[in-house]
C-alpha cells in the first residue's frame, strides 16, 4: 500500500485510539482533528478544533491530506433519544461540512464510519445486506443515514462502512454490561437470538484495507465478524475465555426481560431479544479477510478487561 497522509477525526474514541498505531505501522502519516490536547504518538500531527457543532475551517487542516477517516460522533448509548439536535448537528451536519471541505480540497478518499443502525433497527427478521432499503428506527440511525447521503451528495470519492456492535478492549455501553454479566458468579439466563458482532481488530483491518482499494470507492459495506453468534454462545464464549464453565440456562423471554430489569440492565433487552444478522459477502468479495475470529477477539477483550 502506498503511504498516505491521513486525517482522523474521533481519534480519542473507542475505535480511534487503536486505529492510530495501526495506521502508523502501515507506514502512513497521521494527522488528528481533536477538541482537546491529548497524548498521541510523537509522529502524529495534532489540529485542535472546536466542538463539531461549530463551523470549523477545515481548509488548513486538510492541506496536504490524501485521505479522511471520519469517526467522530456521539455514541447513541450516551445521549437521550429525544436529543434530535445533538445527533443531527454532529452526525449529519458536521459530516456534511467536512465532506464538502474534503471535496474542495481534492481528497482522494473519504472513509465514513457509519453504523448498521443507519440501515435497520435493533433487530430484523431477515439477514441484512446492503441492497436492502434502509429503515433506521431511531434518531441516531436516521442521523447516520442522513450523513451517508450527505457524503454521497458532496461528490468526494468515498467509502462508507456500516459496522455492527463493536467489541474490544475496554468495552463500553451494552457490551460492557454483557461482559459484567459473564463475569458474575451466577448461572446466565439467555434467549436463542442470533447477533452479528464485530471485533475492533476486524473493523480496523477493514478501514485500512479500504484506503488503497479502488474497487471500494463509491460503495457502502456492512462489516461484521465472519459468523453470527447466539446470545447463549456469546455468554458461553465469554465464560470459556475466562477458563470457566458456561453455566448458561435457556429461559423464557419474559423471565429474561425481568432479570435484566432487576439488574438495572433493561436497555440490553432490545439488543438481545431479537435477531440481527448481517451478510458480509460484499466486503469479503473485495478481498478483505477478517483479522480474527470471534473467539480470539473475545479472548483479547477479556484479557484487557482484567488488566
Task: Quote the mean pLDDT of the chain.
Answer: 87
Q: What is the pLDDT of residue 231?
A: 77
DSSP string computed for 243-305: T----EEE--HHHHHHHHHHTT-GGGHHHHSS-B-B--HHHHTTT---SS-HHHHHHHHHHHH
Q: Are 161 and 114 in contact (CB under 8 A)?
A: yes
Q: What is the pLDDT of residue 179?
A: 81
Question: What domains sit in the chain, N to C, each tagged with a CATH number?
Answer: 5-168+197-225+278-288 (3.40.50.720)
Residues facing residue 31 across a β-bridge = 7, 45
**pLDDT at residue 227 is higher than 70:** yes
Average pLDDT score over residue span 7-35: 95
The three-class DSSP label of residue 107 is coil
Q: What is the pLDDT of residue 260?
A: 66
Average pLDDT score over residue span 209-230: 94
Q: What is the pLDDT of residue 163?
A: 98
Q: Determine how β-strand 194-195 pairs with β-strand 229-230.
A: antiparallel
- The winner for highest mean pLDDT among 72-86, 184-198, 211-225 is 211-225
Average pLDDT score over residue span 157-170: 94
Q: Band of the pLDDT at 74, cuts 50, 70, 90?
A: confident
Q: Which residue has the higher pLDDT, 244 or 273?
A: 244
Q: What is the pLDDT of residue 248?
A: 66
**pLDDT at residue 185 is higher than 90:** no
Amino acid at each position: 500500500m502506498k503511504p498516505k497522509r491521513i486525517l482522523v477525526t474521533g481519534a480519542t474514541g473507542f475505535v480511534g485510539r487503536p486505529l492510530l498505531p495501526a495506521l502508523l505501522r502501515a507506514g502512513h502519516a497521521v494527522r488528528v482533528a481533536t477538541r482537546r490536547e491529548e497524548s498521541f504518538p510523537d509522529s502524529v500531527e495534532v489540529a485542535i478544533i472546536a466542538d463539531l457543532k461549530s463551523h470549523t475551517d477545515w481548509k488548513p487542516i486538510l492541506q496536504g491530506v490524501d485521505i479522511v477517516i471520519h469517526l467522530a460522533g456521539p455514541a447513541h448509548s450516551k445521549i437521550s433519544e429525544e436529543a434530535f439536535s445533538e445527533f443531527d448537528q454532529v452526525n449529519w451536519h458536521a459530516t456534511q461540512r467536512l465532506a464538502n471541505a474534503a471535496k474542495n480540497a481534492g481528497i482522494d478518499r473519504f472513509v465514513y464510519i457509519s453504523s448498521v443502525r443507519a440501515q435497520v433497527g435493533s433487530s430484523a427478521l431477515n439477514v441484512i445486506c446492503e441492497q436492502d432499503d434502509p429503515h433506521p428506527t431511531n434518531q441516531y440511525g436516521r442521523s447516520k443515514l442522513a450523513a451517508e447521503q450527505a457524503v454521497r451528495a458532496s461528490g468526494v470519492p468515498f467509502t462508507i462502512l456500516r459496522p455492527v456492535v463493536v467489541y474490544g478492549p475496554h468495552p463500553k455501553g451494552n457490551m460492557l454490561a454483557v461482559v459484567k454479566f459473564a463475569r458474575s458468579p451466577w448461572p446466565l439466563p439467555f434467549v436463542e437470538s442470533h447477533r452479528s458482532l464485530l471485533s475492533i481488530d476486524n473493523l480496523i483491518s477493514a478501514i485500512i484495507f479500504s484506503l488503497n482499494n479502488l474497487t471500494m470507492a463509491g460503495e457502502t459495506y456492512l462489516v461484521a465478524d465472519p459468523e453470527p453468534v447466539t446470545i447463549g454462545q456469546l455468554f458461553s464464549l465469554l465464560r470459556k475465555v475466562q477458563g470457566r464453565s458456561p453455566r448458561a440456562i435457556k429461559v423464557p423471554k419474559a423471565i429474561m426481560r425481568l432479570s435484566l430489569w432487576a439488574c438495572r440492565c433493561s436497555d440490553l433487552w432490545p439488543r438481545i431479544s431479537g435477531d440481527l444478522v448481517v451478510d458480509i459477502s460484499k466486503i469479503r468479495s473485495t478481498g478483505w479477510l477478517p483479522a480474527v475470529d470471534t473467539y480470539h477477539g473475545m479472548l483479547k477483550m477479556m484479557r484487557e478487561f482484567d488488566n
